[in-house]
Amino acid sequence: MMNQIIRAENYRIRKNKTFRIACIVIIGMVLVGFALFYAATHIISGELMEAAGGYDTDLDAFTDLNLFDCAGIAASLMQVLSILYAIVITIMIGAEKRNGIYSLMLERGYQACQIYMGKLYETTVIAGISYLLYVAVSLIAGAIFWHGTIEREDVTGFIRVFLLMLVMYVVSSYIYMAVAMNVKNAGMAVAVNLIIVLLFSTVITGLDQILADGDVFLRKYWLLSAIEQFAYIDHTDTTVRETITGLIEAVGYGGLAVFIGNTVFTKKKDKNRK
């Protein structure tokens, strides 16, 4: 029966307009972000940049960028990507709940756990494709704007951080999915997920300022804050130990989100059957 669910999920992904719009938004977001960054580093004079306390006034620093650095420039858009994940996943699941798809599947003999695993597959595919598109457009845009080159010694570090970020982003989407599957109202589910994306990270950053004098302490243990930390770190400086720590954190949060989300969803559906 899971094969039938997977085929149905593949069909929904291909035909879903919300996901298509999200892909267009990702492309536009990266291109606009790169265009603004390019303008800030090539059009605005060094004096203005120095007065604003912004980028290095040596514009030559931005004319010889490694192509992998261009993906790093897009790191400033990481939180926007998380917000987009939260909204898209919640809207898609909310629409299916509103249309009674899950109730119909239960009536046809599917188990609640199978339904949840099917949505987990859908969420994984959507998050994975979205992130791959995000990185691909970043690299292409970097090649267009800065004619960036690839340094062989940077490949290993870039691949390591790229795979880690892919896993962490996919896992973060499991949190949004757990909320969307178990909060009855779609609008409320969107609100809860946005609070998770925006408020939690802000509060944890504030606590770090108070408890650790601004050093990174609690942020290391909150998945979305950890994503931001890895996004801004130089991929050539990322150690294997840091990568393993990030993977352990991702697996922990992902496993917890799936366990809690599936348990609550299954109990609710089993209760409704009785």
Separation of alpha carbons 44 and 50, rounded Å = 10
Answer yes or no: is 159 within a domain: yes
The winner for highest mean pLDDT among 120-134, 154-168, 219-233 is: 120-134
**Are the beta carbons of 22 and 84 closer than 8 angstroms?**
yes
Rounded to the nearest 10 degrees, the angle between the axes of helix 223-232 and helix 200-211 is 80
pLDDT of residue 59: 47
pLDDT of residue 61: 47
How would residue 129 be classed by pLDDT, with cut points 50, 70 and 90? very high
CA-atom Rg of the chain in angstroms: 21
How would residue 221 be classed by pLDDT, with cut points 50, 70 and 90? confident
Strand-pairing partners, residue 18, are: none
pTM score, two decimals? 0.81
What is the amino acid identity at position 128? Answer: G
Answer yes or no: is 203 within a domain: yes
Answer yes or no: is 210 within a domain: yes
Q: Is 214 strand, coil or helix? A: coil
How would residue 235 be classed by pLDDT, with cut points 50, 70 and 90? low
Answer yes or no: is 31 within a domain: yes
Answer yes or no: is 56 within a domain: no
- Number of domains composing the chain: 1
Residue 75: domain span: 2-51+63-273
Answer yes or no: is 57 within a domain: no
Answer yes or no: is 58 within a domain: no
pLDDT digits (tens, 9 = 90+) for 71-91: 555 555 677 788 888 899 999
